[in-house]
Amino acid sequence: VYLEPGEKMSVSELLKCLVVVSANDASVALAEHIYGSEDSFILAMNERAAQLGMKNTNYVNTTGLDADGHYSSALDVALVTRELLKHPTILEYTTIWMDTIRNGAFGLANTNKLIRFYSGATGLKTGFTSGAGYCLSASAMRDGMELIAVVMGAETSQSRNAACKSLLDYGFANFAVVSPDLSD
């Protein structure tokens, strides 16, 4: 979002920028604000990843940009997505379709097009780098059932979105939330 040196922005606005448009400068600003440095935040990210059982993830930056030693797996992305969805506040950001910052002077449009075009979509995060391709961790809820679909390495954003949509469609068509009858 083209943060300027010394520019002040609320944590809420930085989170909005990070989640809605993948603002790399916002991720660095938040890391520095919360942990004092990006390096300290990266250490905490890797510790939390280990606590969540993310066995195929190693962070070397806060942005997710390609770097030696920076990697993750679809399962690990699903694990962190599941953890994020435990915090309802995240949905205040992941479900934004369009918004603004800087008193309306700078527009934000969600890079996750499923938010607008997929029934029940709740988030969560898109990504693209030349090394990883087009990636999406998509979440949706229908009839009390919440699903997560993760696609990595797609050739286009359209194919990434279509693959996540197909995975979610399959889940909603073939599974249901049931309560066991414990009276027997």
pLDDT at 183: 79
Q: Which pLDDT tens digit goes with each residue over 16-73?
A: 999 999 999 999 999 999 999 999 999 999 999 999 999 999 999 999 999 999 999 9
pLDDT at 28: 96
Mean pLDDT over 97-104 rounds to: 96
Question: Of all helices (H) and strands (E), which one includes residue 13?
Answer: helix 11-21
184: pLDDT strictly greater than 90: no
pLDDT band at 181 (very low <50, low <70, confident <90, very high): confident
Over the chain, what is the mean pLDDT? Answer: 96
List, in order, residues 6 or more apart from 47 with CB less than 8 Å away.
none
Give the CA distances from residue 109 to residues 14, 17, 26, 44, 120, in Å, rounded to whole numbers and listed in that order: 14, 10, 16, 29, 19
With the C-alpha atoms ordered 47, 53, 59, 63, is the resulting torsion angle positive or negative?
Answer: negative
pLDDT at 97: 96
